């Protein structure tokens, strides 16, 4: 895998830890997500799947 450039979420606080970070592959076909306090654990999704998840979260349509 190519080296990823991680970007901290603009909603994360200024302190260290508990920050969501994103990185895209060079071809932008995958988005990687991780928490800054556990950087070895990475979730990967397509941009389309991540957008659908974010829309569902914002709409409150996810059930337990």
pLDDT tens per residue, range 13-63: 666 667 889 999 988 899 999 998 899 999 999 999 999 999 998 999 887
Q: How confident is the model at residue 2 (pLDDT cuts 50, 70, 90)?
A: low
Residue 42: C-alpha distances to residues 26, 32, 58, 60, 61 (Å): 17, 6, 22, 24, 24
Whole-number Å distance between alpha carbons of 24 and 42: 12
Establish if 43 belongs to a structural domain: yes
Whole-number Å distance between alpha carbons of 58 and 22: 18
Q: How many structural domains does the chain have?
A: 1
Instruction: State yes or no: pLDDT of 11 exceeds 80.
Output: no
Establish if 23 belongs to a structural domain: yes
Residue 13: its pLDDT value, please?
64
Establish if 8 belongs to a structural domain: no
User: Which DSSP state fits 3?
Assistant: P
Residue 17: its pLDDT value, please?
64
């Amino acid at each position: 895998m190519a080296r990823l450039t991680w970007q901290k979420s603009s909603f994360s606080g200024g302190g260290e830890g508990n920050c969501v970070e994103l990185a895209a592959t060079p071809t932008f076909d995958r988005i990687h997500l991780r928490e800054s306090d556990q950087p070895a654990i990475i979730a990967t999704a397509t941009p389309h799947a991540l957008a659908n998840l974010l829309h569902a979260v914002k709409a409150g349509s996810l059930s337990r």
